[in-house]
Structure 1
Amino acid sequence: MDMNTTPVLQLTGICKRFAGIVALNNVALSVRAGEVMALIGENGAGKSTLVKTLTGIYRPDEGTIELAGQPVRFANAQDAMQAGVTAVHQETVMFDELTVAENIYVGRQPCRGASGRIDWSKIEAEAEKLFERLEVALPVRARVKDLSVAQRHFVEIARALSQDARVVILDEPTASLSQREIRELYRIIRQLRDAGTAVIFISHKFDEIYEVADRYTVLRDGQFIAEGALADITEQELVALMVGRTVKQAYPKADVTPGEVLLSVENLCHPTEFDNVSFELRRGEILGFYGLVGAGRSEVMQALFGLSTQVRGNVRLDGKPVCVTCAADAIKHGIAYVPEDRQHQGAHLTLPILQNITLPILSKVGFFLRGRRAEENKIARHFAEQLELKAAYLTQNVSELSGGNQQKVVLGKWLATNPKVIILDEPTKGIDIGSKAAVHRFIGELVSKGLSVILVSSELPEVMGLADRIVVMHQGRIEHTFNRGEATPEMIVSAASGNELAEDCA
C-alpha cells in the first residue's frame, strides 16, 4: 500500500464538547483505500464519540473531516451514509420483523416504473448478489429476528456494500461471536480491504488487531496519542500508549486461603440447558467456570439467581437449604449476579449512575424519605471510587458512559447489596485492558474481605490467572474440575471440547 496516496478519510483537529466536558480534543486520524486501521484506546478514550462524529450523529465543534481530499460536513447519519461512511456496531440496530433483504434496502427500495410499487424481486436479487460477493450463505427472506449475532453483522456489512461504502467502521464486531464466526468475519474484512474499501477496526483484543489490521491509531482521554504500522510496535508498547503506563501484572491474585464451604450445589438440572451440575464454593474463593459456546455456564448461573424455571436440584448456603425461585429470593439470601449483557440485563441506561447503584437496595435507602439523595450519593460515590469509575458526575445517565464504565456501574450495583456470593458472568467482556486490570484488582479485594466469587469467562488467561479452581463445562455437564496450577491451557481446552485427554493428563 502506497503511504503517499491521499487518505480516503482524514480528520484534523477534531474537538467535541458536551456541557463543558471535553470528549475529543484535537484528534487526528487517517485511513487509506485498501487499508485496515485499528482504532485503539481504553473505554472512555473517545472512540465512541469519534465514531458518532464520523457517522453524522454528532457534529464536531472544531476541526475538519475530509473524504478523498475534499472537506465534508455531515448534517446527520443519512448524509454520512450517502457519502460512503457507515458503521457496523457491536449492538446491531435493525428491524427484527423485516427480512434480510428488506433491512438492507430499507428507506431506499427500488420501484417498478411509474406505478411506484416496490420491486421486491429486484430487492431480493440484489441482496443475493451482495451475499455472493461476500461468499456468505444467508437466506434473504429470513426474518432478522431469527438470525445469529454474526449473521446480523453480515447483514450490516451487506447494507454498507449496497451503498458503495468507501469507509466501513467495525465497532467491537467480534464481542459475541464464536471462534468459527470470528474467522468468517476476518475473511470478510480482508475481502473488503482487497476490494479497496477503507476499514476502521475497533477492538480491545490484541490478537484480533494484529490478525487483521495494517496500522493503528491510539486515543487516550479524548486525545490523539500515536499512529503507525502495527508491524513496528509490540503489544506491550501499545498498552503503554493506551493507558499511559505499563500494565505489569494483568491478573493480580490475592493471597487468600479459601475457608469452609459456603455454597453447595447438588445435581442441578434443567430439561434443555444443563444436567447433573454439582460443585462447591468456599468462603474467600474465586471459582472459575470455563467452556465453549453452548456449554451451559451462563444458564447454570441464571438458575442459581432464580431467573430460570423448571430447575431441579439442591442448593445450600452456609449449610442451610435455600429455595431460589426469583431474583428477589437470591438477593435476600446474599447471592448477586452480574450478567454478561450489561446493556439489556445489567443496567438501566436511561437512569443516572447513583440510581442504578442503589436500585437493588431501595428498601434500605428509602423511597421518599428525607435525606435519600444524600444516602444515594454516599453509597454511589463509595463504589465509584473503589471501581475507579470515570464519569463527569454521579447524576450522569449510564447510557452516556463507555462500555467499561457501564460494567463498573453494574458491579457497584450488586456489591451495594452486600452479598455473600457474587457471580460474575463475563465481567470484562468488551472492555479495555486498563478497565480489565481495575476489575481484576477489585475481584482480588473482594475475596480478601471474605466474599466468594464465581467467575464465568471465555478468556482462558483470565480464568487461569484469577481462579483458585476451574470448573470446565461441556454440553451442559461438568467435564472436569482443576485446582489452580495443575492444568495447562491445552488440558482445559481439551476438557471443554469433551475430550478425555484432560482427565488422562490430570
Structure 2
Amino acid sequence: MKVRMQGIHKSFGNVKILKGVELQIGNGEIHALMGENGAGKSTMIKVLTGVYTKDCGEIFIDDEQVEINSIKDSEKYRIAYVHQELNVIRQLSICDNIFLGKELKTKQGLLDTKKMNEICKEKLSQLGIGHLSPDTLVGDLSVGYQQMIEIAKALLIDAKLVILDEPTAALTNKEIENLFEIINKLKLEGVSFLYVSHRMNEIFRMCDRVTVLRDGQYIGVEKIDAINEEKLVEMMTGKSIDNLYLKEKVTLGKTVLEVKNISRKNEFKDINFFVKEGEVLGFAGLMGSGRSEIMHTIFGSTKLDSGKIFIDGVEKKINSPIDAKKNGIAFVTEDRKEEGLILDFDIKENFVIPSLKKFLKGIVVQESQISNKIDSYIKNLKIRTSGRDQKIKNLSGGNQQKVVFAKWLETNPKILILDEPTRGVDVGAKKEIYEVINELKKQGVAIILVSSELAEVIGVADRVAVIHNQKLVKIYEGKNITQEEVLKTAFLGGAE
C-alpha cells in the first residue's frame, strides 16, 4: 500500500504545529520519520491515524484521495498504530486483547471463543510466537512479547501500513532482533512500516528512506544509503552537532558513595563500587542484568538483603527514597512517565514536589519563589514550553526529561543517579543533557549513569562498570574503555 500526505496543516488555537508537511511511503517500504522532540512527528501520525483532524491538506492511499477523521477510518484503510506506551490490558488474555472491540459472535449472538482462539493462534504463529497460548494473561508476558501482541492486533485488521513509535525502547537485545525479523518478514509480504525512533543505528539498519521534520515543517526525504548520520543530524537540528559526547576533565574529589557487597535476592549479588566528587561512573550490561535494580535499592525504592552503603565514609541505612533524599541522593528513573512525573500536573507542580520544604515560610508556600526558580530552569535547560503552567503530558519526551532533571537538581544532590536519561530523547536534547551532566561534574556532584546505549556510556562516563548475570564483573577506565571490550564483557561476563 502506498500512502501520501501533502500540505498537511494542524494548529491548536493560535499555535501552529504542522506547517504544510508531507510524507510519502512506498509499498513494502520501511520508512523512517525523524525530527527532534517537538518537531511534529506525533501530531503527523495522529492526523494519519484519525486521532486529530487536519486543518487542511490531502491524504492519498494508493493514489486515491481519502478522508481520515477517526481511528475507525484509519483501520478501514488498513493503517495500524503500535504506540510507544503499549495499549494492552494486562489483566486480559492474549486473545481478549487482540479482539478487544472486535469480538466475533455466533449466529446466536454469543461470543465465538473457538473462532477467536483459532484466529489468535494463526496470528501468533505468523509472528513466530505460536508457542504462546491465547489464554495467557498479557501481564505475565515480557514487554517484548506484549509488543508482539500489539503487532498481532495490526495483523487482525490485515494492516498494510504499521506505524511503530520507538518500538525498541524497552526491549532486550534478543527481543529487538526478534522484532526486526518480524518486520522484515512482513515487509516481504508487502506490509509497509512507518518507523519512528531516535536510535540512529536502527534507522540505518532497518529503513529504506527517511523523512525529516523540523519545527513543524517538512525538511526533506532521503534514501538511507545516500545519507550519513552527520547529515541526518544536520537536517533534524538545522546545524551540525560535532562532538556529541563532550567529556569534561575535572579534578576528582573525595569518595562520596561506596557500596560494599550489596545483594538483593534474584536481582543482584555482592556488588562493590565507589564514585567520587566530579566523577561519572557508567553502568553497562544487558537489559535484565540487574543494573536498574541496583540503583533502585541505593535510592531506597527497594530494600537490601545484605551489604552496606556508605556516604562520605559513614554507613547509612537507606530504607526509602525519603532516606535517600536526606542523604543527598537524587534519582532520574528510566520510566519518567510512571515513576518520574505526574502527567496531569503542570511543570511547576511537578518541579516543586521533592523540594517543597525549601519554599515554605511557616505554612505558607512562597509561590513567587517557585515561579522564579522554574522559570530559571526553563531558560537554562532550554525546556521548550508555553510556560510553567503547561501540563507535563503535553510536552515532548525530551522536555519532560528536562523537567525531571530540574526537579531533582533543585534538591542540590551530592549523588545523582541517571537511569536511561536520554531514552526517547532526540539528538539535540541529548547534547543538552550531556552539557548539564558536565556542568554538574564541575560542581563536584558524583554521578552514576545507567544506559543501554553503549556509545553514550563510553562517551560520557569516566569509568564503566559492567553488570553480567546480576554481578559486577569488571570496571573499565581510561584507554581500556572500548566498545568491543565492554560489549564482550556484557554478553560473556569475565573475571571478577
How far the C-alpha of 1:18 sits from its partner, in A, is 1.6
Contact 1:267/1:313 (<8 A) preserved: yes
Partner of 2:280: 286
- The whole-number CA distance in structure 2 between the counterparts of 1:368 and 1:79 is 57
Confirm whether residue 345 of structure 1 aligns to residue 339 of structure 2.
yes
For residue 204 of structure 1, what is the amino acid of its counterpart? H
Please, which of 372, 385, 388 is the counterpart of residue 378 of structure 1? 372
Whole-angstrom distance in 2 between the partners of 1:166 and 1:272? 43
3-state SS of 1:57 partner: coil
CA distance in 2, matches of 1:50, 1:373: 37
Per-residue displacement from partner, 1:398-443 (whole Å, max 9, x unpaired)? Answer: 1011111111111111111111100000111121111111111110
Measure, in 2, the Cα distance between the counterparts of 1:123 and 1:405: 42
- In structure 1, runs of 5+ residues without a counterpart are 1-6
The 1:367/1:354 distance shift into structure 2, 3 A limit, reads farther
> CA separation in 2, counterparts of 1:66 and 1:182?
32
Q: Secondary structure at the match of 2:122?
A: helix
Output aligned runs, 1:463-478, within 5 Å: 463-478=457-472
Retained in 2: the 8 A contact 1:479–1:498? no
CA positional deviation for 1:321: 2.1
Deviations 1:91-129 (A, max 9, x none): 10122221111111111211111x100110100101111
Residue 359 of structure 1 contacts residue 413 of structure 1 at CA under 8 Å; is this kept in 2?
A: yes
1:273 and 1:96 mapped to 2: Cα distance?
A: 23
Does the 8 Å CA contact 1:284/1:452 hold for their aligned counterparts? yes
Distance 2:217 2:481 in 1: 42
Cα deviation for residue 73 of structure 1 reads 2.5
Q: Please point out which of 411, 421, 426 is paired with 1:427.
A: 421
- What is the CA deviation profile of residues 214-239 of structure 1, one whole-angstrom value per residue up to 9, with x for unaligned ones? 11100111111010211111111111
Of residues 217, 222, 227, the one that matches 1:228 is: 222
After superposition, the Cα gap between the structure-2 partners of 1:367 and 1:191, relative to the gap in structure 1 and judged at 3 Å, is farther
TM-score normalised by L of structure 2: 0.96
Question: In the alignment, which residue of structure 2 is the partner of 1:108?
Answer: 102
Q: Distance in 2 between matches of 1:229 and 1:91?
A: 29
Change (3 A) 1:399 1:492: same
- Aligned match of 2:122: 129
Residue 433 of structure 2 corresponds to: 439
Post-superposition shift, 1:44? 1.1
Residue in 1 aligned with 2:253? 259
Given the alignment of the two structures, is residue 301 of structure 1 paired with residue 295 of structure 2, yes or no? yes
Check if 1:155 corresponds to 2:149. yes
What does 1:313-462 align with in structure 2 at a 5 Å threshold? 313-366=307-360, 372-462=366-456
SS of alignment partner, residue 276 of structure 1: strand
Q: Which residue is 2:133 aligned to? A: 139
Alpha-carbon offset, residue 462 of structure 1 = 1.1
- Residues 1:33 and 2:31 are matched in the alignment: no
Alignment partners' CA distance in 1, 2:366 and 2:481: 50
**Alpha-carbon contact 2:79-2:160 (below 8 Å) kept:** yes
Query: 1:153 is matched by which residue type in structure 2?
Result: Q
8 A contact 2:290–2:470 mirrored in 1? yes
TM-score of the two chains, using structure 1 as the length reference: 0.95
Contact 2:463 2:481 in 1 (8 A): no
> In the alignment, which residue of structure 1 is the partner of 2:76?
82
Distance 2:471 2:146 in 1: 30
Higher mean alpha-carbon deviation, 263-272 vs 341-350, is at 263-272
The whole-number CA distance in structure 2 between the counterparts of 1:399 and 1:106 is: 26
Q: Which of 34, 38, 60 is the matching residue for 2:54?
A: 60
Given that 2:6 and 2:22 are in contact with CA atoms closer than 8 Å, whether structure 1 keeps it comes out as: yes
**Structure 1 pair 235–310 and aligned structure 2 pair: CA distance change class (3 A):** closer
8 Å CA contact 2:381–2:432 kept in 1: the answer is: yes
Cα distance between partner residues in 1 of 2:122 and 2:352? 52
Is the CA contact (8 Å cut-off) linking 2:464 and 2:481 kept in structure 1? Answer: no
1:496 and 2:490 aligned: yes
| Alpha-carbon distance change, 499 to 322 in structure 1, aligned in 2, over 3 angstroms | closer
Q: Note if 1:200 corresponds to 2:194.
A: yes
- CA positional deviation for 1:310: 4.4
Deviation track 1:39-85 (CA, whole Å, cap 9, x = no partner) reads: 01111111111111111111111212222223322332222222211
Q: 1:216 aligns with which of 204, 210, 228?
A: 210
Shift of 1:133: 2.2
Alpha-carbon RMSD: 1.6
Q: Is the 8 A contact 2:49 2:70 kept in 1?
A: yes
Is the Cα–Cα contact under 8 Å of residues 21 and 392 in structure 1 kept in the other structure?
no
Alpha-carbon distance change, 117 to 489 in structure 1, aligned in 2, over 3 angstroms = same
Q: Distance in 1 between matches of 2:298 and 2:305?
A: 9
Percent identical? 38
Q: Which moved more, 1:196-205 or 1:59-68?
A: 59-68
1:316 is matched by which residue type in structure 2?
F
Aligned length: 495
Q: Distance in 1 between matches of 2:93 and 2:374?
A: 44
Bigger shift: residues 100-109 or 415-424:
100-109
Return the alpha-carbon distance in structure 1 between the equivalents of residues 286 and 449 of structure 2. 15
Which piece of structure 1 moves more, 375-384 or 326-335?
375-384
The code of the aligned residue for 1:284 comes to G
Secondary structure, counterpart of 1:118 in structure 2: coil
Which residue number corresponds to residue 92 of structure 2? 98
CA contact (8 A) 2:173 2:287 kept: no
* Greater mean alpha carbon deviation, residues 101-110 or residues 217-226: 101-110
Cα pair 2:297 2:304 within 8 Å, conserved: no
**After superposition, what is the alpha-carbon deviation per residue over 1:174-208, rounded to whole angstroms, capped at 9, x for unaligned?**
11111111111111111222111221011111111
Q: In the alignment, what sits opposite 1:117?
A: 110
Q: Which stretch shows the higher mean deviation, 65-74 or 458-467?
A: 65-74
Q: 1:297 is aligned with what amino acid?
A: R
Residues in 1 aligned to 2:20 and 2:475: alpha-carbon distance in whole angstroms:
51
Specify every segment of 5 or more residues in structure 2 that has no aligned partner in the other structure, as ranges. none
What's the CA shift for 1:8?
Answer: 2.0
Contact 1:355 1:376 in 2 (8 A): no
Alignment deviations for residues 233-275 of structure 1 (CA, whole Å, 9 cap, x no partner): 1111111101111110111111202111111211111122111
Structure 2 partner of 1:4: none
For residues 453-500 of structure 1, the C-alpha deviation after alignment (integer angstroms, 9 at most, x for no partner) is 011111111111111111111122110111222232222122223443
C-alpha deviation, 1:354, in angstroms: 1.4
Separation in 2, partners of 1:29, 1:494 = 40
